[in-house]
Amino acid sequence: MKNGVILAILSSLIFSIMNVLVKSISDTVPTSEIVFFRSFIGTVLIYFFMKRSKVRFSRKGIPFLMLRGIFGALYLLAYFYTISKIPLADASILAHLSPFFAVFFSYLFLKERVSKRVILILPLVLVGIVLLTKPGAYSAYSLFALVGVASALFAGAAAVSIRFLSKAHHSFEIVFYFLATGTLITIPLMWNNFVLPSPTELAILVGIGVVSLLGQVFLTKAFTHESVVVVEIARYIGIVFNILWGFLFWAEVPSLLTVTGGILIVTSCILLSRKKQPVERAKVSFIPVWKK
């Protein structure tokens, strides 16, 4: 397998574990507070990693780093809220609509070409998604589902911004700005709704921060190895992981359609990583502020 695809799959597995932790305390801890702990703990840890690896903060490109952070923070708020309101599998399916937005944004802003091979594999992925969503039985068409779609939009925008920033910034720095921005945004949001967590809840919140940081590092590095489209398609396997956790922890027995869809998605990821696909150098359609 190619490094970028392997990293994307690992990040999906780690993020699925994070989803389980978020779901387990979402009934007692507000969404903004979960995002705050996730972001704050991650900020401290990534700052330590930067110091240890002697990664310096850039003096250029700060506005775009902060913009990536805003996209990421909005994604977390929308996604965690969706997880707290609808089944984990449904929330995961909605969040994995992000490649559709990522393809549009990467073509619009980065002028990245979609290879024929990716185009041929994409229908296989879409069939798997259709089987997983079970049209006619899916019952989350509501305001909560719309928030889930919004989370996918913000995730797609964040993916493209990572791809753009990775050409000039270390992955640790990109992750730092994402988490630091998330911390700052959630402080006023949770100010009047803060709930003092119990020892168990605090341990879970810390776990969310640590686990999600590992997933974010893997994901950011994946975007530095592969194009936005390839990484986002490989991340579809995260749906399978989330369905598995739903079965193990909430006794959600997957149907034949779910199993078939999962097999198609895993097969797609394997096919996607079989041959070497050169990464197209992005031709940016606008001039960054720091290069004017």
Question: What is d(CA 29, CA 33) in angstroms, rounded to the nearest whole number?
Answer: 7
148 in Cβ contact with 85 (< 8 Å):
no
Q: Quick check: is 229 in a domain? A: yes
* Cα–Cα distance, 53 to 48 (Å, whole number): 9
Within a domain: 153 = yes
Distance CA(289)–CA(200), nearest Å, equals 46
**What is the spatial distance between Cα 290 and Cα 59, in angstroms, rounded to a whole number?**
9
Examine residue 230 and state whether it is found in any structural domain, yes or no: yes
Total domains in the chain come to: 1
The answer to whether residue 287 is domain-embedded is: no
Domain that includes residue 45, residue range: 4-273
Radius of gyration of the chain from its Cα atoms, rounded to whole angstroms = 18
Residue 61 lies in a domain: yes
Count Cα neighbours of 216 within 13 Å in the Cβ-side half-sphere: 30
Query: What is the distance between the alpha carbons of residues 279 and 115, in angstroms, rounded to a whole number?
Result: 10
Q: For residue 83, is pLDDT > 60?
A: yes
* 30 domain residue, yes or no: yes
| pLDDT value of position 134 | 58
Six token digits for residue 234: 């490989």
For 231-260, what is the mean pLDDT? 77
Mean pLDDT comparison of 114-123, 209-218, 244-253, highest-scoring range: 209-218
Per-position DSSP letters for 68-105, written without gaps between them? HHHHHHHHHHHHHHHHHHS-HHHHHHHHTTHHHHHHHH
Model pLDDT, residue 276? 46
Q: In whole angstroms, how far apart are CA 107 and each of 54, 157, 218, 239?
A: 34, 12, 24, 25
Residue 70: predicted pLDDT:
93
Residue 283 lies in a domain: no
Q: Which long-range contacts (CB under 8 A, 24 or more apart) does 54-57 make?
A: 55/170, 55/172, 55/173, 57/173
Across 225-252, b (16+ Cβ under 10 Å) vs e yields: bbbbbbbbbbbbbbbbbbbbbbeeeeeb
Tell me: the pLDDT tens digits for 173-232? 988 998 999 999 999 999 888 999 999 999 999 999 889 888 877 877 887 776 766 776
DSSP assigned state of 191: T
Full 3-state SS string of 195-250: CCCCHHHHHHHHHHHHHHHHHHHHHHHHHHHCCHHHHHHHCCHHHHHHHHHHHHHH
Distances (CA, A) of 203 to 15, 71, 207, 208: 17, 27, 6, 9
CA geometry: angle 11, 111, 74, nearest 5 deg? 45
Residue 279 lies in a domain: no
Average pLDDT over residues 250-275: 68
Amino acid at 271: L
At residue 178, what is the residue type?
Answer: F
- Mean model confidence pLDDT for the chain: 79
Q: What is the pLDDT of residue 73?
A: 92
Which pLDDT band holds residue 242 (cuts at 50, 70, 90)? Answer: confident
Q: What is the pLDDT of residues 46-80, one digit of tens each?
A: 899 899 989 889 888 888 899 989 999 999 999 99
Give first-to-last CA distance, the chain, whole Å.
39
